[in-house]
Amino acid sequence: MLDIAHLRAETPGVGNVLHFNNAGSALPPRPVLDAVTSHLAREAATARAEYLSNYLAFLQMKARVGIEIDVVDSDASGQIDLAALERAIGPRTTLIAITHVPGRGGLVNPAAAVGRIAARHGILYLLDACQSVGQLAVDVREIGCHMLSATGRKYLRGPRGTGFLYVRHDTIERLEPPFIDLHAATWTDADTYVIRDDARRFENWERFVAGQIGLGVAARYAMRVGMDAIEARVKALATQLRGELAKQPGVSVHDRGVELCGIVSFLKDGEAPATTRERLRTMNINAHEARLSRVDPPTGGVHSLVRASVHYYNDEAEVERFVRAVAD
């Protein structure tokens, strides 16, 4: 069981705001704040859906090197259609890239089932886990991904501007980093260099050290709280929130998928999502307006949803207050 009173006491932000925008950026716990600010103080004394952006990166690669992008449809439940994925694979397919939790709603894609398809066809598998790391117990071996990217600022509760990349050891040599310097490579001769054979090949010499320290503290903090307990608590709060919202007249919940996480998407009749968000904001409540992407399935004229994302440090009383504020 999680000691919610203690976890809230370690989260200064909960005293100021009802924060249901953890999928945007979570409130950092005291140890993360202390690690970052104390390091900054030291530096001061030492004088110195698919996620939309991912798709843009693929479009850039299309323009630059001529890759072809096949968008795999969703199935009736809303998650990636595994049979359609299997059918889309051809002799020239080199990468399967999916987003674990697209972030516009509660959907969790079946990452491990995709991993089994990737393994069967011998295709590289990249998982965007920006929304899942920190709220779900994510196990790269169970999922079978070759690469996983994650951000620090969201459910992991780390500093903004940080994140990490996981690459399976046997895959490292196949990935050439887009930028190299003397941290990532050794200059061997006038015209030759050797790229490191470990994780550091993906790093740069100059880094946001305070941010990295904070990210490390945030990761250890999450492990100490316990990823299984976090996942259970986040899912339970979100289930409560979905249930209570759906009971309100004129409020519709829009989460799709088989497995659902801590993100809840909804609409209030006669109120634009941006208006709902602004109205909540005047009550010192944070939620978010989530825009649908250009590759999302058509949703009958709806272009965005209100997104309320809970974390384990939120509590049942906040869920009640949130629902009253929406219904008001």
Ligand X SMILES: *Cc1c(COP(=O)(O)O)cnc(C)c1O
Q: With respect to ligand X, which residue has the nearer C-beta, 309 or 314? A: 309
The answer to whether the Cα torsion of 171, 156, 240, 139 is positive or negative is positive
Q: With respect to ligand X, which residue has the nearer C-beta, 104 or 242? A: 104
Verify binding: residue 148, ligand X, rule CB under 6 A: no
Verify binding: residue 153, ligand X, rule CB under 6 A: yes
Q: With respect to ligand X, which residue has the nearer C-beta, 131 or 304? A: 131
Contact residues for 198 (Cβ-Cβ < 8 A; gap 6+): 172
* Residue 99, SS3 per DSSP: strand
Q: With respect to ligand X, which residue has the nearer C-beta, 151 or 276? A: 151
Verify binding: residue 318, ligand X, rule CB under 6 A: no
Which 60-79 residues touch ligand X, going by CB under 6 A?
none
Three-state SS for 170-223 is HHHHHCCCCCCCCCCEEEEECCEEEECCCHHHHCCCCCCHHHHHHHHHHHHHHH
Taking the complex as a whole, how short is the minimal distance between the CB of residue 152 and ligand X, in angstroms?
A: 7
* Residue 143, SS3 per DSSP: helix
Verify binding: residue 135, ligand X, rule CB under 6 A: no
The position carrying tokens 């980093």 is 177
- As to burial, measured by CB atoms within 10 angstroms (0-12 exposed, 13-18 middle, 19+ buried), residue 230 is buried
Amino acid at 222: A
Q: Using CB under 6 A, which of 31, 163, 177, 226 touches ligand X?
A: 163
99/191 Cα distance (integer angstroms): 39
21/230 Cα distance (integer angstroms): 17
82/96 Cα distance (integer angstroms): 12
- Residue 77: name the closest of 259, 327, 304 by CA: 259
Q: Using CB under 6 A, which of 151, 212, 286, 314 touches ligand X?
A: 151
Q: Which stretch binds ligand X (CB under 6 A): 68-76, 85-93, 126-134, 250-258?
A: 126-134
Contact residues for 10 (Cβ-Cβ < 8 A; gap 6+): 29, 30, 31
Q: With respect to ligand X, which residue has the nearer C-beta, 130 or 225? A: 130
Verify binding: residue 131, ligand X, rule CB under 6 A: yes
Q: With respect to ligand X, which residue has the nearer C-beta, 251 or 264? A: 264
Q: Residues in contact with ligand X, total (CB under 6 A)? A: 10
Q: Beta partners for 194?
A: 186
Taking the complex as a whole, how short is the minimal distance between the CB of residue 98 and ligand X, in angstroms?
A: 10
What is the per-residue binding string for ligand X in 34-53, x denoting contact by CB under 6 A? Answer: -----------------x--
Q: With respect to ligand X, which residue has the nearer C-beta, 11 or 109? A: 109
Taking the complex as a whole, how short is the minimal distance between the CB of residue 54 and ligand X, in angstroms?
A: 6
Taking the complex as a whole, how short is the minimal distance between the CB of residue 263 and ligand X, in angstroms?
A: 10
Taking the complex as a whole, how short is the minimal distance between the CB of residue 157 and ligand X, in angstroms?
A: 13
Phi, psi of 193 (to 5 degrees): -150, 160
Question: What percent of the residues of the chain are helix, what percent strand, and what percent coil, each to the nearest 5?
Answer: 40, 20, 40
Amino acid at 221: Y
DSSP state of 149: E
Q: With respect to ligand X, which residue has the nearer C-beta, 87 or 207? A: 207
Taking the complex as a whole, how short is the minimal distance between the CB of residue 317 and ligand X, in angstroms?
A: 27
286/280 Cα distance (integer angstroms): 7
Verify binding: residue 29, ligand X, rule CB under 6 A: no
Contact residues for 83 (Cβ-Cβ < 8 A; gap 6+): 75
Q: Which stretch binds ligand X (CB under 6 A): 95-103, 166-174, 185-193, 316-324?
A: 95-103
Q: Using CB under 6 A, which of 28, 29, 103, 105 touches ligand X?
A: 103
Binding site for ligand X (CB under 6 A): 51, 99, 102-103, 128, 130-131, 151, 153, 163
